[in-house]
Amino acid sequence: MQLSRIDLNLYVVFDTIFEEGNLSRAAKRLFLTQPAVSHSLGRLREYYDDPLFVRRGHRMEPTPLAQRIRPGVQAALQGLQDTLQTGSGFDPLQSQKKFVVGVRDNIESWMVPQLMGFLQQQAPQTQLASTQVPRRDMEVELSAGRLDLAFDVLLPVGPRIRHQPLIEASFCVVARQGNPLVGKRLTLGRYLKARHVVVSSRQSGPSVEDFELSRLGYRRQVAMRCQHMYVGLRTVAQTDLLLTVPGSVFDLIADIPGIKSWKIPVDLPPLAVHMYWHESADGDGANRWLRDCIHKQLAKPGKSN
């Protein structure tokens, strides 16, 4: 079957039935009659020689074939929607776009909740997907359009990747209340004598703070590495380990009982977070709108590169 002989509106009906699981609700959502939706489904069944949806109780359940083709249908419909938004300007109140951002866990914990709260108010029908992408893959994912934006520390990138500084966060140290290694005041000697938790997606290698400590001639003992900030915080709440985090992280997730923050007893430069995007998204209405919103909501003034 050639694509030119298929009415693409049938796929809008297919996707809506898949989401609603009911022909009447699909018709209401599409502002169509139920017979019209049934007719469209009949045409798709002829094209694919498959029932696509079968009735089980009060629901229309997708067949295995419908489940296989649905991701491709979704991607195609979203792509068409994106071209309309790019060509005619982005309307946040009407858009149903799914924004995909690449972000590391120690940034995600404070940034993504704020971003979702803003989107819920300003672009209530959009979706947000946060995913952790290895640094070596960030440029490829941005270039392929699988990521709209990425957030990380300052990294060496190619000439087609744009970036902009967002925020700087000073480090603090988190420990449980009553940790005997901290006492009333956390000194440099106590900090270096203690054992530490590092939050990282890598199994080994220095963290940002370890790298900065080594430049000053210091080395600390790492007892545990974990992938998620929440796990690190829960660990220090139950042990005598220490966790060094950007202050913005602790401010937002300090509701974990029994933990307290101290000023880090060594002069480390603040953690600078940058926003990255591909040059092809410079003129994209949705991407530009999201960048502007993030910069206004989260950023300190900075210069694009």
241 and 179 in a common domain:
yes
160 and 277 in a common domain:
yes
The pLDDT mean for the chain works out to: 87
Is residue 303 in some structural domain? no
With H, G, I as helix, E, B as strand and everything else as coil, classify residue 75: helix
Burial per residue of 39-62, b for 16 or more beta-carbon CB atoms within 10 angstroms, e otherwise:
ebbeebeeeeeeebbeeeeeebeb
Is residue 121 in some structural domain? yes
pLDDT in tens, 179-228: 988 878 899 999 999 999 998 877 788 888 899 999 999 999 999 999 88
Q: Is the pTM value of this prediction over 0.85?
A: no
DSSP track, 188-213: HHHHHHSEEEEE-SSSSS--HHHHHH
- Rounded to an integer, the average pLDDT of 16-44 is 91
211 and 186 in a common domain:
yes
Number of structural domains, the chain? 3
278 and 158 in a common domain:
yes
- Rounded to an integer, the average pLDDT of 155-161 is 90
Angle at 195 between CA 193 and CA 200, to 5 degrees: 135
Of the chain, the percentage scoring pLDDT greater than 90 comes to 50
Is residue 52 in some structural domain? yes
Residue 66: CATH number of its domain: 1.10.10.10
Is residue 230 in some structural domain? yes
If you ran DSSP here, which 8-state letter would residue 141 be given? H
Q: Domain residues for 59?
A: 3-88
Is residue 305 in some structural domain? no
Note the pLDDT of residue 192.
95
Banded model confidence at residue 127, pLDDT cuts 50, 70, 90 = very high
149 and 195 in a common domain:
no
Residue 291: CATH number of its domain: 3.40.190.10
280 and 233 in a common domain:
no
219 and 246 in a common domain:
yes
148 and 281 in a common domain:
yes
